[in-house]
Amino acid sequence: MIDYKKILQMHFDHTSQRTIESSLGHSRHTISDVIKRSQAKGITELTEEMDNEWLFGLLYPERQTFERGYYPVNWEYIHKELMKKNVTLQLLHREYMENSRHSKKFPYSYTSFCRGYKDYARKYDLTMPIKRKPGELAELDWAESVLYLQNHETGELDKAYLFVATLPFSQYFYVEAFMDMKVNNWLTGHIHAFKYFKGVPETLVPDNLKTGVTKADRYEPVLNAAYRQLADHYQTVIVPARVKRPKDKQALRALLAMYQGISLVLCGIINVSRLRT
């Protein structure tokens, strides 16, 4: 059996390949191949978890798969496909199953397939660059901070509430000020945001506020009837953020944080309906 770990240990200690060959009894070709593959994988040092089995799986994934009689998985392809819109591991596993049948090889089960991808991502220290996909959803809410509009004749200040919509993938956002947070303005904000974005996302993720959600519930929230009709008209769906789950709207929360503590006085303006950034 090839001692992958010992080969790399000696190599990292600047031992020549000729000395490694005579010490371990492996051929020069084998030693050279192990070193080249480790360099291609970016291995510069060994850790405790890098035993022979681990290194074999990392350096020779195609050999490990064929030796066990299973149809090989191109994990690099899987990782790239997952970045595409509406692509899931389940869909990719179905595709893999079809390919394995055509090749007359044994396919991995879905559980093993998911575990294999997890191991692949861990070994290569891979992460998805985004958690959302283009056009997948929009996050919407009223900002906690408000604007103040001053009547230049009376000097009185009126509150203006900020409706905010953001697209998590691009971090593109739309902001509009209204004189109240009633349902009509909530819906108007959506319509204007769709026009501004020049499109409608597949899913709307509002906070569990009363203008959009009549009853907040973790599993079956009750939506405002007018809000539901708006979604039907634009052929989109509404999935309210879960109660006490701030991570459901990370992009929007980051955007709203920009407005915390802001108090602006707009002099000479009494009837502002829209503020675009």
The pLDDT tens digits for 109-134 are: 888 888 888 877 776 655 555 456 67
For residue 254, tell me if it sits in a domain: yes
First to last CA, the chain: 64
Cα–Cα distance measured from residue 31 to residue 53, given in angstroms and rounded to the nearest whole number:
17
**3-state SS, residue 205:** strand
Kindly give, in sequence order, each residue whose CB lies less than 8 Å from that of residue 46, ignoring residues fewer than 6 positions away.
5, 8, 9, 12
- State what percent of residues in the chain have pLDDT above 90: 10
151 with 196, same domain? yes
99 and 46 within one domain: no
Domain residues for the domain of 104 are: 63-129
For residue 211, what pLDDT is reported? 53
Q: Domain end: 129, 150, 165, which one?
A: 129
pLDDT < 70 regions, the chain? 1, 61-69, 85-86, 123-133, 208-223, 241-277
Place of tokens 């920009």: 258
Query: What are the pLDDT digits (tens) for 173-220?
Result: 898 989 888 888 999 999 999 999 999 988 888 875 555 454 444 434
Per the DSSP assignment, residues forming a β-bridge with 140 are: 165, 206
Same domain? 50 vs 91? no
Specify the number of domains making up the chain. 3
Domain membership of residue 276 (yes or no) is: no
CB-based burial, 55-64: b 16+ in 10 Å, e otherwise: bbbbbbbeee
Do residue 93 and residue 180 come from a single domain?
no
Both 23 and 52 in a single domain? Answer: yes
> pTM of the predicted model, to two decimals?
0.43
